[in-house]
């Protein structure tokens, strides 16, 4: 039913434009919008709320075509013959998603003759070369806040499943075995533990809020910005200015900052040496913030007791990616899943609606929300990405 490239020709969209568009409105001009989304397969055919898929197209095809715009949707994103490379050349708007990132590199952006706007359907625009986008005066926006609760819940779940040694316990049951001591020898309570977050923005803060009922010992955070005193008090958070000091005091470290030049490879072999022996690390921010080999090695040696998350340095992750199968010395400690924490059905409804709002603002010449704006007027605007 769905071709690999889900698109209608410009010609076929014109009659729709005539029947629905209001000709007086300045935003009825035709433009080319390209969306790179993940393929949803049978699941997306059966579940229309999987809006972020190639099949369900963020639910905006009819609306865009009714305005006379051309809308091209594909999952083909790698290499010179990909639909991304082919269509970026004359697209005015490119929509991408962190879940199946269309990497908008310098080389690719330099081929874009007409590009004015990149929209991230979700949160996290590190797959866009923000420096090149600003140099080329291409605005970059994302749907800030759209999935932050979804991710915060996943972080809390991941902390619990590592600390309580859940995954091997379930695998044991599936195998037909029953050996309580094998699991209990490395299972603990979350109560009384110290949790440190790298980044205390929308997600990091929500994680701390959600940890409050567990009676954790202390919450630490490392961030450019200090939280207001009231906000700190509410989640019993204490800022630690030196990252090494923070990880040295934490039983569990969770990564909740964006990926940019200042955070790429931040959790590397050197920093891992400063972690408490046997600490847990949860990263749902971006794979490349943690060094791939250093993390695998730290888990193997027992320096880390567990690593969990849903983000990978390349997505989709290659079959032989060490994070798929890495284990601690007791054969456990891996809570890795595909990138889905921020793409629950609830989140998809929010980021699809937010993408449409950004497009509407663009088409009507209305100001965008400052919190959604990553690059604007040739400058990196977002403080979280190092903007001033």
- Residues annotated as binding site? 123, 147, 202-203, 223, 258-262, 284, 310, 339-342
Q: Using an 8 Å Cβ cutoff, are 310 and 283 in contact?
A: no
100 lies in the site for ligand NAI, by CB under 6 A? no
Beta bridge partners of 96: 120
- Using CB atoms within 10 Å of the CB of residue 99, give its burial: 0 to 12 exposed, 13 to 18 middle, 19+ buried: buried
Q: Which residue is associated with the tokens 């005066």?
A: 137
358 lies in the site for ligand NAI, by CB under 6 A? no
CB of 256 to ligand NAI, least distance (A): 5
CA terminus-to-terminus distance, the chain: 48
- Residues annotated as binding site for substrate? 123, 147
Among 203, 290, 358, 363, binds ligand NAI (CB under 6 A): 203
Q: Using an 8 Å Cβ cutoff, are 127 and 105 in contact?
A: no
CB of 56 to ligand NAI, least distance (A): 18
d(CA 199, CA 195) in angstroms, rounded, equals 12
Among 258, 287, 306, 354, binds ligand NAI (CB under 6 A): 258
Site mask for ligand NAI (CB under 6 A), range 328-357, x = bound? -----------x-xx---------------
Among 310, 315, 334, 358, binds ligand NAI (CB under 6 A): 310
201 lies in the site for ligand NAI, by CB under 6 A? yes
Q: Using an 8 Å Cβ cutoff, are 144 and 123 in contact?
A: yes
Q: Using an 8 Å Cβ cutoff, are 208 and 182 in contact?
A: no
Rounded to the nearest 5°, which phi and psi values hold at 146?
A: -65, -30
Active-site residue list: 147, 286, 315, 339
**Taking CB under 6 A as the criterion, which residues in 276-305 touch ligand NAI?**
284-286
Among 143, 311, 336, 374, binds ligand NAI (CB under 6 A): 311
- Residues annotated as binding site for NAD(+)? 202-203, 223, 258-262, 284, 310, 339-342
Cα 1 to chain centroid, rounded: 29
Q: Using an 8 Å Cβ cutoff, are 307 and 336 in contact?
A: yes
d(CA 71, CA 55) in angstroms, rounded, equals 13
CB of 102 to ligand NAI, least distance (A): 16
Footprint on this chain of ligand NAI (rule: CB under 6 A): 122-124, 147-148, 151, 198-204, 222-225, 256-259, 262-263, 284-286, 310-311, 339, 341-342, 384
């Amino acid at each position: 039913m769905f071709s690999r490239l889900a698109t209608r020709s410009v010609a076929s969209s014109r009659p729709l434009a005539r029947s629905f568009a209001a000709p007086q409105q300045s935003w009825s001009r035709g433009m080319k919008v390209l969306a790179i989304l993940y393929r949803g397969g049978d699941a997306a055919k059966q579940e229309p709320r999987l809006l972020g898929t190639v099949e369900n197209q963020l639910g905006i095809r009819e609306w865009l075509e009714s305005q006379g715009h051309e809308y091209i949707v594909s999952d083909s994103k790698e290499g010179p013959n990909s639909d991304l490379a082919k269509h970026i050349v004359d697209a005015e708007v490119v929509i991408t998603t962190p879940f199946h990132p269309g990497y908008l590199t310098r080389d690719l952006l330099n081929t874009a003759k007409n590009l004015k706007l990149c929209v991230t359907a979700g949160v996290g625009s590190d797959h866009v070369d923000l420096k090149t986008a600003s140099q080329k005066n291409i605005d970059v926006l994302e749907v800030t806040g759209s999935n932050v609760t979804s991710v915060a819940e996943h972080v809390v779940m991941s902390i619990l499943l590592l600390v309580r040694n859940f995954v091997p316990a379930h695998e044991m049951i599936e195998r037909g075995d029953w050996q309580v001591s094998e699991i209990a020898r490395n299972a603990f309570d979350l109560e009384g533990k110290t949790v440190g977050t790298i980044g205390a923005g929308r997600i990091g803060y929500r994680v701390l809020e959600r940890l409050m009922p567990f009676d954790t010992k202390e919450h630490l955070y490392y961030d450019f910005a200090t939280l207001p005193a009231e906000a700190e008090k509410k989640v019993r958070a204490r800022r630690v200015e030196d990252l090494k000091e923070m990880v040295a005091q934490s039983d569990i470290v969770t990564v909740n900052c964006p990926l940019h030049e200042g955070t790429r490879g931040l959790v590397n072999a050197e920093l891992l040496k400063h972690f408490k022996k046997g600490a847990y690390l949860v990263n749902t921010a971006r794979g490349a913030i943690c060094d791939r080999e250093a993390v695998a090695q730290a888990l193997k040696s027992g320096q880390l007791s567990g690593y969990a998350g849903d983000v990978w340095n390349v997505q989709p992750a290659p079959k032989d990616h060490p994070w798929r199968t890495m284990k601690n010395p007791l054969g456990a400690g891996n809570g890795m899943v595909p990138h889905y924490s921020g793409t629950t059905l609830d989140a998809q409804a929010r980021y699809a609606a937010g993408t449409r709002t950004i497009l509407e603002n663009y088409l009507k010449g209305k100001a965008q929300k400052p919190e959604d704006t990553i690059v604007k007027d040739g400058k990196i605007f977002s403080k979280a990405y190092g903007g001033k």
